[in-house]
Amino acid sequence: MTELKDKVDQVEELVTTPDLASALESEQFRRFLDQIPIAIVVAQMKSDEQIVYANPEFENLTGQSSAELEGKPWSVVQGQRMGKDGEQTLGYALKNESEYVGTFRIEKADAKVSIVDAYSNVIVDDSGMPAFRLAALVDVSAHDQTPREELEKQLRDKDILLREIQHRVKNNLQMITALIRLEARNAAGRLDSAPFDRLAGRIHSLQLLYKSLSEDPNNQEIDLGTYLSQIATSVMEAHAVEGIRLELKVDAYPVSVNVAMPTGLVVNELLTNSLKHAFKGRDGGTISLQCLTNEVGCCVIVSDDGVGLPAGKDWPERGKLSALIVESLRQNAKAKIEVTSTSQNGTRVAIVFTRAAAAEQQS
C-alpha cells in the first residue's frame, strides 16, 4: 500500500510539474526522472524527432541504454505490439499515437522478456507549440502470475488512492478560488482586480468538473448541459448585476473530460464578459446560455442583447489564454466556433460539436 502510494505521488508530481517543457531542459528535473520507478524516454519535437533522454528504469526494462538511444529516432526503440496488431513496433506507436498506446513484448539481449503497457504524450511550450514527446512504460510482466485476489486488492487500493488525490485536488481548487476572490476584493480601488476575477472563475470551473467526476467515479463522461448550467449559476452568483437576467436552456449531452474542460472555461469567460461589459450605459439586459442537441450533434450558444464588442476588437483576442482554449476545442473536439457581434443585437458565440467528428476521433 505504501509503495503504491509513493508511485502515485511521484507520477502526480511528474505530470503536474509547472511548465513541463522548460523543466525537461533542466538537469535537476532529469535527476528526478532518474529516480522514479517508471521507465521514461523523451524526444525533442523537431522535423525529425530525436530521443534526448531515457532514464535508468527504461534501460532495466528494455535493455536499451540512454547512450545508445540519444540522438536516434523513435524507430530504434524495440518491442512488438501484443494482439491482432502484432507487427506494429513500440517505437512507431510511441511516435504516432497518444495517451495509452497498447501492450508490447520486449525481448532483451539477455533472453529475458518484458511485457509493458506504453503511454505517450506531447508536451507543448508556453506558445502552445509541441516541444517534447514524453513516453512511459509500465512493467506488467508479472500480471499473469499474480493471484486474482491480489490483483483485485491492488486495483481497490489504487482506486482508493486516486479518489483521495481527486478529493484533495477538488478541495485545493475550492480553497484557491476563495483566496483569489478575497484578494480581488482587497485589491479593489488599488489595482485592477479583473485578472483575479478571471482566474478565480477559471479555477472554479475546474472545481465543478472535479466535483462531477467524484460524484460518479466509475463514469468517465460529463453531462455537458448539467456542467454548463452549474458554471452559469456560479458566474451569476459571483458577478450578479441588478437588472441582468439569465435565460438557461440545456439538453443532456455526454462528453469526455477533455471536451468538457475547455468548453466550461470558454463559457465561463463569455458569461463573465457579458456581465461586466455588455450592458455598460444600460439599465439591464438578458444573457442566454443554451446547450442544444439534435441528430447532428450539440450546439452551445452564449449570447446577450448588449452593446456588442468594441469596434476593431475580436473574440477570442489573439495571444490571450482564451484563444489557446478555443484552439484546443477546435483541435481536440473538432468544434466549430462562430462569433457574431453588433451594437444593435449584442454578441453571440456558438460552439458546434458534431457526432461524426467525435466518432472519427474515437476510431
CATH number at residue 128: 3.30.450.20
Examine the domain organization and report whether 185 and 234 are in the same domain.
Answer: no
Choose the weakest-confidence range: 9-13, 259-263, 350-354. Answer: 9-13
Report the amino acid identity of residue 152. E
Q: Which has more confidence, 60 or 168?
A: 60
Q: Tell whether omega for the bond before 316 is within 30 degrees of 0, i.e. cis.
A: yes
Contact 21, 132 (CB under 8 A): yes
Listed residues 110, 143, 176: the one ending a domain: 143
Same domain, 104 and 159: no
Pairing of strands 346-354, 297-304: antiparallel
**Strands of 346-354's sheet, edge to edge?**
244-250, 285-293, 297-304, 346-354, 336-342
Q: Are 104 and 81 in contact (CB under 8 A)?
A: yes
My answer on whether 127 and 160 are in the same domain is no
Mean of the per-residue pLDDT values of the chain: 76
Is the pLDDT at 357 greater than 80, yes or no?
no
Pairing of strands 285-293, 244-250: parallel
Query: Which of 37-46, 78-87, 149-158, 302-311 ranks highest by mean pLDDT?
Result: 302-311
* Residue 153 φ/ψ, nearest 5 degrees: -65, -45
| Residue range of the domain that includes 206 | 146-219
Strand partners, 301: 290, 350
- Same domain? For 311 and 259 the reply is yes
> Tens digits of per-residue pLDDT, 66-89?
888 888 988 899 888 887 666 788
State whether 295 and 191 are in the same domain: no
Count how many domains the chain has.
3
CATH number of the structural domain spanning residue 349: 3.30.565.10
DSSP letter at 89 equals: B
Do 356 and 272 have their domain in common? yes
Which residue type, as a one-letter code, is found at position 111?
Answer: A
3-state secondary structure of 128: coil
**Which of 143, 173, 188 finishes a domain?**
143
In the structure grid, which three cell numbers stand for residue 217, read together? 467515479
